[in-house]
Structure 1
Amino acid sequence: MTTDRLTRLIALMNAASLDAVALNPSPSLVYLTGLHFHLSERPTTLIIAPPHPPLLILPELEAEKARQSKIPLTLIPFGDNPADWEKSFQEAAQICRLQGKVIGVEPTRFRFLEWQFINSSARDVRLVSAEPALSVLRLRKDEQELAAMRRAVLIAEQAFEQTLPLIKAGITERELAAELTVALLRCGSAPELPFSPIVAFAANSANPHAVPGDTPLKPGELVLFDWGAAYEDYFSDITRTLALGEPDEELRQIYKVVLQANQQGRLAGKPGLPAGAIDRAARQVIEQAGYGTYFIHRTGHGLGMESHEPPYLYAENPLSLENGMVYTVEPGIYLPGKGGVRIEDDMVVTPDGCESLTTLPRELLIL
């Protein structure tokens, strides 16, 4: 399977006029090789430059791991003397004949460190974004990938259900986030979560990317959870908003609106539909209810080996949805100083529509 992925990447590289692709430790590198490396002060760089076999520059201490690659690799290991690292890149540049070539890199991943080594090792190279090729490579999930994502959803949902009984007046956001994190690990999540769980009370829930603090929970306040699990390199990403005791009428009202927007967004997906149409379907509900200015982000984003990846669900995105694409639907309304509501589900495009991978109830839960 992984060899098939390499074949697809080479075809995409040809279509994008890329002579080579250079990758740092990243989901793309894992996707192609099955190898996990940390991004550190020691450079680790995979170079794919057909017709030469893929080549991996890496610290000598990682060489044994690299021999477990799912695709054949030429290894160029180096020791711990930084003065010798450039020699490894020079050897790679010579083997792959990189001089004068166009090399694609991931713009949000590739560093100045590796750029400097490549630039000094091969004359007249041109580094460009490899997004035209790499963004398509992982866009459609196969059955094995979807099975991992379903398991990641199940783990996240089980952890959430185990955390619910701990919600009570006086507990802090930080304490509840810690309990959810422990529950995720106990339920089977990999230690490297998609992101640190967000737990936000009351006015803090009006901040979409709130950081849990020492705010104690009080009766009548909203509690927003945004969390996910990791399983076999794939992620889930879920948001639910509940209340401790009866919230006030406006908070109940925005919950109803967001729930309807979430429903319309979930129902909208199908093959051939522009990704932006899902945003418009959800956003229209919120705008018609008079809260359009309080919906301050896109309706969703792609999900897979990263918590944010294509396709991105913003109104102007013309990308056509295809069978196997996975994305979130997460409309929200955020009232500054008062509170916010977001309801997020993970969706997969099917041959004739879409399916929700998430199964937790969406109606307002009052504890």
Structure 2
Amino acid sequence: MQELQRRREQARRAADEQGWAALLVTPGPDLRHLTGYDAMPLERLTCLVLPADGTPTLVVPRLERPAAEACAPGVALVDHPDGADPYRLLAGLVPAAGRIGVVDAMPAAHLLPLQDRLPGVRWERAAPVLGRLRAVKSPAEVDALAEAGAAIDEVHRQMHRWLRPGRTEAEVAADIATAIRDAGHARADFVIVAGGPNAASPHHSSGPRELQVGDPVVVDIGGTMPSGYCSDCTRTYVLGPAAPPDFADYYAVLQAAQRASVAAVAPGVPAEAVDAAAREPITAAGYGEAFLHRTGHGIGLDTHEEPYIVAGNAEILREGMAFSVEPGIYLAGRHGARIEDIVVCTGDGVRRLNTTDTGLVHL
């Protein structure tokens, strides 16, 4: 409870600094971060009202009150029955004029009725403010991410059970999704199995193509743990003893780039410098145009959150920031490779939360 109170006070101070009269948070990771309540997103309104000065209040549908009472300690609860006007109720909890921050997750179906009832309010996005707060993880959050990392590592260690010539990507993906849950996740969030030419598509959807001897196979997998914290890890495999011509050479470049990028992580380093550490050796080897995406993204209660490890982001890394380091090389129509670890910026450098070998694995 103390940790949740600390987060709400931190958010309240940040809202006050923005000049907001209140902060409104509907179901999603922000609400779970501030209250511990993993509320279902419904057509019925659930919303945390965090005023600049006053008691935090959670507005919930009456039928959801027992779940909210069990999961959201330290906030006042106000419920509304079916047939009542929850927007008039919520409007009575905030000033009728001024500026109010609202999370991106609030649907238009809820925001528009509030705008009708509060015409004097100026609505502003809260995501930039809450994103900065959530980007720095507490020790307990790092422990939760480490648990998620260990669970997804266990799935990668079993990849020999499923990756075989003659099986389709979709068949392998279904087995991996089951294994993600068996390894301790509450759910599997995504499974990318991309073999042969499909490995050149970073967000390929696992499909009917049968895996073949000699295929490079990119396997990008992740899930959500019962704690709410996410895993995300990518490894590249080759089916059989021989890789395609030039694949091993550019994989070695990729592995060196990923190591250099991880090594660049430290407090005080700009996020864009970590991206550059991965991009420079890949470009120098002639594959710069084949590195199609940013080097990384933050992770926590969302798989993708701040900070983003990308050119142009001068944000300074701080102790407790957790994010992926995942450079890739993709040769359209041929094959591709990606290596991804989740890392945490520590007081004196970096900690990898995924510990399986990043070398090329032949199955």
TM superposition score category, shorter chain reference: over 0.9
From 19, 24, 27, the equivalent of 1:25 is 27
1:144-293 paired onto structure 2 within 5 Å? 144-191=140-187, 193=188, 195-231=189-225, 232-245=227-240, 246-293=242-289
Percent identity of equivalent pairs:
34
> Using the alignment, how far apart are the partners of 2:13 and 2:172 within structure 1?
47
1:32–1:71 contact (8 Å) kept in structure 2: no
1:251 and 1:40 mapped to 2: Cα distance? 48
Separation in 1 of the partners of 2:249 and 2:159?
A: 26
What CA deviation, in whole Å up to 9, does each residue of 1:333-353 have, x standing for no partner? 111101110000111011111
Question: In 2, distance between residues paired with 1:144 and 1:337?
Answer: 44
| TM-score, scaled to structure 1 | 0.95
Per-residue Cα deviation, 1:38-73 (whole angstroms, up to 9, x for no partner)? 212222221111323122222211111111244433
> What whole-Å deviation, never above 9, does each CA across 1:166-206 have from its counterpart, x for those lacking one?
22111111111111111111111112x3x311111111111
Show CA shifts across 1:294-332 (max 9, x none): 111000011111111111011211100011100110000
**1:108-154 deviations in Å (ceiling 9; x for gaps):** x1211111121122231111111332012211111111111111011
Give the corresponding residue for 1:90.
88
Equivalent residues of 2:172, 2:193 under 8 A apart: yes
Rounded Cα–Cα distance in structure 1 between residues aligned with 2:109 and 2:59: 13
SS at match of 2:330: strand
The match for 2:76 among 74, 77, 80 is: 74
1:94 Cα deviation from its structure 2 partner: 1.6
SS of 2:101's equivalent? strand
Residue type of the alignment partner of 1:133: V
Number of residue pairs the alignment of both structures matches: 359
Deviations 1:252-285 (A, max 9, x none): 2221111111011111000000000000010001
Q: Is 2:304 the counterpart of 1:302? A: no
1:57 to 56, 59, 72: 59
Letter in 2 for 1:59: P
Task: Give, in whole Å, the separation in 1 of the partners of 2:258 and 2:65.
Answer: 47
CA distance in structure 2 between the partners assigned to 1:29 and 1:229 by the alignment: 19
Local SS of the residue matching 1:18? coil
Counterpart among 94, 106, 111 of residue 110 in structure 1: 106
Q: Secondary structure at the match of 1:125?
A: strand
Alpha-carbon RMSD: 1.3
Matched residue, 2:360: 364
Aligned-residue offset at 1:14: 1.4
SS in 2 for 1:217: coil
Aligned residue for 2:97, secondary structure, equals coil
Structure 2: which 5+ residue stretches go unaligned?
none
Candidates 309, 312, 318, aligned match of 2:314: 318
> What per-residue deviation string (whole Å, max 9, x for no partner) do you get for residues 196-222 of structure 1?
111111111111001010110000111
- Which residue of 1 is the match for residue 11 of structure 2? 9
Match of 2:351 among 343, 349, 355: 355
CA deviations 1:207-245 (Å, max 9, x no partner) are 100101011000011111001232211111100001002
One-letter amino acid matched to 2:89:
E
TM-score (norm 2): 0.96
Code of the residue aligned with 1:9 in structure 2: it is A
One-letter amino acid of the structure 1 residue matched with residue 349 of structure 2: G
C-alpha distance in structure 2 between counterparts of 1:95 and 1:16, whole Å: 19
Q: Within 2, Cα distance between the matches of 1:292 and 1:92?
A: 52
Contact 1:276–1:315 (8 Å) recurs in 2: yes
Tell me the amino acid that sits aligned with residue 308 of structure 2.
Answer: Y
Counterpart of 1:328 in structure 2 is 324
Aligned residue for 2:124, secondary structure, equals: strand
Q: Distance in 1 between matches of 2:157 and 2:115?
A: 52
Partner SS state of residue 120, structure 2:
coil
Give the distance between the partners of 1:258 and 1:214, measured in 2 at CA. Answer: 28
SS of 1:7 mapped into structure 2:
helix
Distance in 1, Cα, partners of 2:67 & 2:98: 30
Asked whether the 8 Å contact 1:200–1:223 carries over to 2, the reply is yes
Matched, 1:138 2:134: yes
CA distance in 1, matches of 2:132, 2:180: 30
Q: Aligned partners of 2:222 and 2:28: how far apart in 1?
A: 19
Tell me the distance in 1 between the aligned counterparts of 2:57 and 2:269. Answer: 39
C-alpha separation between the residues in 1 aligned to 2:311 and 2:32?
A: 31
